Amino acid sequence: MSGHHHHHDHYHDHDNHFTPIEARVKALESLMIAKGYVDPAALDAIIDTYETKIGPRNGARVVARAWSDPAFAARLKADGSAAVAELGYGGRGGEHIVAVFNTPEEHNLIVCTLCSCYPWPVLGLPPVWYKSPPYRSKAVIDPRGVLADFGVTLPQGQSIRVWDSTAETRFIVIPMRPAGTEGWSEEKLASIVSRDSMIGTRLAVVEAQS
């Protein structure tokens, strides 16, 4: 039986295969909590920073560059990994980053049905919901419903294309550039690109200035 069990583990290796960074973070986390140095809530705050603030800023810069530089956008479309590397962000070996561009005709949504593959170099840590079985199954079966859950309603004529990440290929969605951003600097453009808009569960929007 144990032989079979071992094989089973190996088969699911993909699920618990941590990258060196992830493994280091995990080990550090366990150690800090075990030694009582770190309050798990404080750790959550740090992880949130990487999930929503620092990590995705790289991706936001990629999007902003694509919006403001048509030549870069063309290179990004042709070879995502190479274009992303131009900005100094790189994979950890092996996987390709593929940029998928939203258009008025087609909205892109990313999921990883097998586990939780995610474009680390451009988006940081995956959000908790990205790894959840409900998201992973519903994104494939009912992507419009998933978007509705996130408060996004697309025009009826806009179709949704769902991209399933794998160990080899990670996707980043390039949202449509909102109207009213003409002449903005890359930095200002990057500020309106949220992590979720690069997964496809949100749109890039200009917040109404209060």
Please, what are the averages of pLDDT over each run of 10 residues along the chain (210 residues)?
40 51 72 70 73 81 96 96 87 75 97 81 82 90 93 93 89 96 95 94 80
Residue 157 and residue 84: Cα distance in Å, rounded?
31
Instruction: Concatenate the DSSP letters of all residues of 73-112 into one string.
Output: HHHHHH-HHHHHHHTT---SSSPEEEEEE--SSEEEEEE-
Q: Could you tell me which CATH number the domain at 39-199 has?
A: 3.90.330.10
**Catalytic annotation, pick one of 2, 68, 115, 159:** 115
Annotation: binding site for Fe(3+): 112, 115-117
Q: What pLDDT is stored for residue 92 in this prediction?
A: 60
Residue 179 and residue 8: Cα distance in Å, rounded?
51
- Residue 115 is a catalytic residue: yes
Residue from 149, 166, 164 nearest 201 by CA: 149
**Catalytic annotation, pick one of 117, 165, 194, 197:** 117
**Catalytic annotation, pick one of 81, 112, 165, 197:** 112
Q: What pLDDT is stored for residue 63 in this prediction?
A: 97
Check: CB of residue 171 under 8 Å from CB of residue 163: yes
User: Is 0.85 surpassed by the pTM of this model?
Assistant: no
- Residue 117 is a catalytic residue: yes
Annotation: binding site: 112, 115-117
Q: Which residues pair with 96 in a beta bridge?
A: 169
